[in-house]
Amino acid sequence: MITHFKIPLLLCLLFTLNTSAQTKDLPEQLDEYLNHHDFFRLRTYFSLNQSKLSPKQQLYFKAFIDNSFNQCKRSADEIRLLLATYKNQLNSKDIIALQTLQMDNYVKTYRYKAAAITGSQLIEKYSSDLDTAKLSDLKNTNILWKSLSNVAPQEVVRNSGASINWDRDIAGLMNIPVIVNGHHSEFIFDTGANISTISESFAKQFHLQLIKTSFDLGSGTSVKNKATLAVAKDLKIGAIELKNIVFIVLPDDQLSFPQIKYTIHGIIGFPVISQLGEIHIKTSGTLIIPAKGKHIAAPNLALDELFPIISLRTESDTLSYCFDTGAKQTELFKLYFDKYKSEITQNGKLDSVKRGGAGGVVKYQVYKLPEFSFCVASKKVMLPDVHVLTSSDGGKDDFYYGNIGQDLIHRFNEMIIDFKRMYVDFK
Phi and psi dihedrals of 235, rounded to 5? -135, 130
Task: Summarize the chain as % helix, strand, coil (round to 5).
Answer: 35, 35, 30
* 3 belongs to a structural domain: no
161 and 275 both lie in a single domain: yes
In the chain, the number of structural domains is 3
Of 244, 266, 289, the position where a domain reaches its end is 289
* 339 belongs to a structural domain: yes
Of 269, 289, 309, the position where a domain reaches its end is 289
pLDDT at 255: 92
Distance CA 226, CA 359 (A): 10
pLDDT at 129: 93
| One-letter amino acid of 294 | K
pLDDT at 355: 67
Pairing of β 317-323 and β 402-404: parallel
124 and 183 both lie in a single domain: no
CB 319 within 8 A of CB 12: no
pLDDT at 153: 97
* 85 belongs to a structural domain: yes
Of 113, 147, 181, the position where a domain reaches its end is 147
CATH of the domain at 244: 2.40.70.10
Residue 314 bridge partners (DSSP):
317
Residue among 38, 168, 337 nearest 61 (CA) = 38
Distance CA 6, CA 15 (A): 13
pLDDT at 20: 47
Give the pLDDT of the chain (427 residues) as one tens digit per residue.
333 333 334 434 444 444 444 557 999 999 999 999 999 999 999 999 999 999 999 999 999 999 999 999 999 999 999 999 999 999 999 999 999 999 999 999 999 999 999 999 999 999 999 999 899 999 999 999 999 999 999 999 998 889 999 999 998 889 999 999 999 999 999 988 889 999 999 999 999 999 988 888 754 444 457 789 999 999 999 999 999 999 999 999 999 988 889 999 999 999 999 999 999 999 999 999 998 888 888 999 999 999 999 999 987 789 999 998 878 899 999 999 999 999 999 999 999 887 655 445 678 889 999 999 999 988 999 999 999 999 987 777 889 999 999 899 889 999 999 999 999 999 9
Which H or E run contains 96?
helix 92-108
Q: What is the pTM of this model?
A: 0.88
348 and 258 both lie in a single domain: no
DSSP state of 145: H
Q: Which domain holds residue 277?
A: 155-289
177 and 92 both lie in a single domain: no
| One-letter amino acid of 194 | N
156-199 residue pLDDT tens: 999 888 999 999 999 888 999 999 999 999 999 998 888 999 99
Query: For the chain, how far is it from start to end, CA to CA, in angstroms?
Result: 25
* 4 belongs to a structural domain: no
74 and 44 both lie in a single domain: yes
